Amino acid sequence: MNEIIAIWAEWIKPSAGLPTVQWSILLALAAAAGHLVNRYSGLPKVIGYSAIGALAGLAGFTGAVWPLQGTGLFLLELGVAVVLFEAGGRIPLRWFRHNPMVLVQSLAESALTFFAVHWLLGQMGVREVVAESLALLAMAASPAVLSRVVMDTRAAGPVTERAMVLSTLSTLYALTLCSARAGMLSKGEAGLAGSLYPVLVVLGMSVVVGGLLALTLRTALRVMSPTSENTAILLLALIAAGAALASNFGGSAPLAALLGGMLLKQMSPRPWSWPRQMGTASSMLTMLMFVLVTVVAAQADWHGPVAALVLALIGARMLAKIVGVALGNVGSGASWRQALWVGCAMSPMSSVALLLVSQYVAAAASLGREIANVALPAILLMELLGAVLATVAIYRVGESSKPWAALTRSLPTGPVHES
């Protein structure tokens, strides 16, 4: 890869620079791969995006250097913020008042995931601060991956909705606790109990920025049409501005966007959806995000001892999420079979986890490298494997309107129009 880049650099002089050419070609390949994977196997497009990113990273692609910084880091934050704003806008808080066991499920699976991963890594000789940080990362599911799976399978139903809500809530916990923990790494290896003040700071600043974002958008929607492209541009610009402000003032950009979406949902209880123009823009950002995650994660060191820790983390995390959802299932209105598949649908890890690892590395380089050595391979595997497991879960509960067997048995004879 480096030799090819050196040859190109001698004769190609693009106005925006060689990385622009590289990323343009890589995203074009990812888009084509996503379409082909979805058309010929029925699996979600995100698997094609992630596979192309992983291959590029393993081949030595230099367009994304770890640790992320500058434009790459901002694009990842913006992509995560857009996805989480939409995910937050799908959560009606009144649902928890009528069915509080859903919130109990969320707390149970997140707490069990933390303690299971922390205990197992400690038993394998990982030092306390690293095990604790990895356990906090493991709490986060991936609303980004799950939303793409839901979109590509055209899924709807109680398992799909509950998996999305629980994934979003687990991300909220992880963003708050990991952001606070990252701020404490440079001050020593104090336990999680000593991070109460940073937690309150991160959560408080994120609530303020998210509240301002929700109020501004609520005011704009009083005079602007939700389907206007100008509204879509305003929405993207405000999310980008909120992401920058939250980080600068000690909050979390993705957390502020998530809380902003949740607050806007409460201020405007009538159903609302993304404008068509926003859908195209957010799809592009999402694809870039998935490719960026796997390009970076594939650059990790895959030696033997790390592989054992990665597999242990993945196994403990998956089992804990399934058991945690099952423990909180009593009185939640779901069957035990549904609880099993909800837990499986929550298995993906992706961009949120990578962003949190980046915060750890920026806060304390040496500790951050230890955390990243285990976290990056786990993220790569669970972006791919997690998407497959979520797809299987949705098909097994019968909530997809696209029968998998029909997709794999025959292809349409006419032109294919993507949704």
Tens digits of per-residue pLDDT, 237-264?
A: 888 888 778 877 778 889 999 999 888 8
Nearest to 289 by CA among 32, 80, 89: 80
CA distance 257 to 214: 9
Q: Which residue has the tokens 């109680």?
A: 158
pLDDT (0 to 100) of residue 407? 44
Which tokens hold the place of 378? 């786990």
Q: Cβ(134)–Cβ(121) under 8 Å?
A: yes
Question: What band does 316 get if pLDDT is binned at 50, 70 and 90?
Answer: very high
pTM summary value: 0.86
Question: What band does 18 get if pLDDT is binned at 50, 70 and 90?
Answer: low
Q: Which residues pair with 400 in a beta bridge?
A: 155
- Where do the DSSP E strands lie in 150-242? none
Nearest to 60 by CA among 5, 14, 7, 17: 5
More confident call, 95 vs 80: 80
Q: In the predicted model, what is the mean pLDDT of residues 343-351?
A: 91
- What is the average pLDDT value for the chain, to the nearest integer? 83
pLDDT (0 to 100) of residue 29? 94
pLDDT over threshold 70, residue 405: no
pLDDT (0 to 100) of residue 32? 95
More confident call, 6 vs 266: 266
Enumerate the H helices of 224-345 as residue ranges: 229-248, 253-267, 276-297, 304-327, 336-345
More confident call, 323 vs 227: 323
CA distance 362 to 67: 8
State in Å, rounded, how far the first CA of the chain is from the last one: 35
Contacts of 366 (CB under 8 A, 6+ apart): none
* Per-residue pLDDT reduced to its tens digit, 31-58: 999 999 998 888 899 999 999 999 998 8
Contacts of 70 (CB under 8 A, 6+ apart): none
For the packed helices 70-88 and 253-267, what is the interaxial angle rounded to 10 degrees? Answer: 30
DSSP 81-120: HHHHHHHHTT--THHHHH-THHHHHHHHHHHHHHHHHHHH
Q: Which domains does the chain have, with CATH numbers?
A: 70-289+300-404 (1.20.1530.20)
Return the percentage of the chain with pLDDT > 90, whole number: 35
pLDDT over threshold 50, residue 377: yes
Which tokens hold the place of 154? 């055209």
pLDDT (0 to 100) of residue 278? 61
* Per-residue pLDDT reduced to its tens digit, 161-204: 999 999 999 999 999 988 888 877 766 555 555 567 778 888 88
pLDDT over threshold 50, residue 22: yes
